[in-house]
Structure 1
Amino acid sequence: MADLSFFGTQWTVYEMFYYFLLYSTIGWFVEVVYMTLETGEFQNRGFLNGPICPIYGFGMVMIIIVLTPIQSPVLLYFVSAVICTTWELIVGIFMEKVFNNTWWDYSHERFNFKGYICLKVSLLWGLGCLIVMKIFHPMMEKVISYIPHDVGLIVGWTFFIYIIFDSVISLCAVIRLNEKLRQLDSIQRKLRAASETIGGTVSGEVIELKAKYDRLVEKKDVWQERLLTAFPELHSNKYNDILSEMKNKLKKIKK
């Protein structure tokens, strides 16, 4: 890990992992501060449970590889804005296709593309990368170089294992959430069918189905609740009405 070249570049896997870890953590911190200021309450942002947003880490690794040779601030600004915007678009589409959910939505912003990306955020990407590459990253290169070799390996592997573990937990939470939405939709269909069959009269079957529906909606899952809090604009392509109901109930419980 320490001496292995990162895909033939001038950096090692060891260095790139630390850059990934560093900027994933900084990205998480920026997200948390921004949302805390906007909403007035702390929100643990990001797909993972820990203080890491991998989308920022991977994005900055690409920026470091591509833009390190570029000296012009203007060129660096525009190229980094394009790279980060493209990366955000790819991740947004990928996560929607895999999980059948939309995780963020810029539809309310001007000059957006299907809610995945927007001009305002793209311009902020460029500014952020310019500041990082010209001011912050050179300092971080020195800091990482001062970490003792053996200590760096132990810490690196520890965080790597943790990220894998956290990713599995988060993936399982999304799978359970989608399954819960599917079950709730199935109960709703049965309720409608039962109501139509008995002409609107409340029967024992309807009462039982409603009770089952309410129990399932109110069933606590701390991992799912964290995801719903971290992604307030989460949209289900199949069961969004039910998901909205779950989010509203979660808000009432927190109040």
Structure 2
Amino acid sequence: MPVSFYEVAWIFVIYAFLGWCTEVAYAALDTGKFVNRGFLNGPVCPVYGCGVLVVIVVLTPLKENFLILFAGSFLLTSIIEFITGFLLEKLFHNQWWDYSNEHFNICGYVCLKFSILWGIACTLIMDVIHPSIYKVIKIVPKLPGTIILVILCIAFAVDLIITVSTILKFNAHLKMLDELAVKLKVVSDEIGENIYEGVTTVIEKSEQWSENIEHARATHEEKRAERKQERREEFLQLQAKYKEALEKRNIGEKRLMRAFPAMKAKGHEEAFNKLKKYLEEEKEEKRAEKS
């Protein structure tokens, strides 16, 4: 049981790092390659550090009872994961993971399978792993330990600021893509409507003034051609801007999309899916060039 802020901070940092290692290992087994699965850029997963810390603080007095320890770990970690997923979505308007396809899930934030795994993992940590880690924390001299901890906390804070900035830019990028897509659709519809109106107007004029049909058709066709050319130029400009917007991205965006393959961009689903598809196609093209 941690008895000081110093010990609490070290427990959080250590298990945040071990959680990141677990996520990377899981992704490696699943995809066969390295993927930085953390929310932050650095090698930490704060939700793991927070989850294990809460389990240690709350359940240490009850650790002798295996069933209570497992049930408590199952419940506490599920609550933390749900709250984390819910808050991240409300703050950044993105759902970072989605268990909707899993049986017995709650709003896609938690599901029975991973909650059971959390419970087993925390039970193992409490009985086997944490006693050794806590001894190491107690053995390390406090002065160098404090210095290292301060450096790590500063790095963590800087990483958090960078990540939040990246997410805000990412959301602004998706919003811009959606706005351009809407404009493209409006101009495209207007071009189609102009063609339709041109045809119907010529027909009406031919029915009303058959003797002046040629003149009416020529005049209308000239005006329609001008409008069509203007809209076509506008459409091409918007297309160029849309393509430029797809290509305009930073490393942080790509990392987040790789780290959270089930991510959903609330309110910008169409733009997100388009960007994701574009990145996949770009990746396939580069792979084909190398081969």
- Sort the TM-score into its range (normalised by shorter chain): over 0.9
Q: What letter matches 2:39 in structure 1?
A: F
Distance, in Å, in 2 between the alignment partners of 1:211 and 1:165 is 36
1:216 aligns with 2:245: yes
Deviation sequence 1:110-142 (CA, Å, 0-9, x none): 111121111011110110000000000000011
Q: Which one has a bigger Cα radius of gyration?
A: 2
Mark the runs of 5 or more structure 2 residues left unpaired by the alignment: 194-227, 285-291
Match of 1:95 in 2: 88
Aligned to 1:240: 269
CA RMSD of aligned residues (A): 1.3
Aligned-pair distance for 1:10? 5.5
Q: CA deviation at 1:251?
A: 2.1
CA separation in 1, counterparts of 2:282 and 2:4?
48
C-alpha distance in structure 2 between counterparts of 1:67 and 1:95, whole Å: 26
Instruction: Within 5 Å, give how 1:155-166 maps onto structure 2.
Output: 155-166=148-159
1:227 is aligned to 2:256: yes
Aligned residue in 2 for 1:132 = 125
- Structure 1 residue aligned with 2:37: 45
**Superposed counterparts of 1:11-90, under 5 Å:** 11-70=3-62, 71-90=64-83
Given candidates 176, 183, 192, the residue that maps to 2:185 is: 192
Q: Which amino acid aligns with 2:167?
A: V
Letter in 2 for 1:251: E
- Secondary structure at the counterpart of residue 44 of structure 1: coil
Distance 2:110 2:48 in 1: 15
Higher mean alpha-carbon deviation, 172-181 vs 195-204, is at 195-204
Checking the alignment, whether the CA contact within 8 Å between 2:95 and 2:266 is kept in structure 1 is: yes
Distance 1:132 1:10 in 2: 15
Give 1:198 shift: 2.0
The whole-number CA distance in structure 2 between the counterparts of 1:130 and 1:250 is 40
TM-score by length of 1: 0.94
Superimposed CA distance per residue, residues 9-35 of structure 1 (whole angstroms, 9 cap, x where no aligned partner): 851110010000000001001011101
Contact 2:178 2:270 in 1 (8 A): no
Equivalent pairs counted in the alignment come to: 247
Aligned residue runs from structure 1 range 170-185, under 5 A: 170-185=163-178
Compute the displacement of 1:253 (Å): 2.7
Q: Distance in 1 between matches of 2:118 and 2:188?
A: 52
- TM-score normalised by length of structure 2: 0.82
Stretches of 4+ aligned residues off by more than 4 angstroms: none
Contact 2:173–2:245 (CA<8 Å) still a contact in 1?
yes
> CA separation in 1, counterparts of 2:71 and 2:277?
40
2:201 paired residue number: none
Partner of 1:149: 142
Retained in 1: the 8 A contact 2:96–2:263? yes
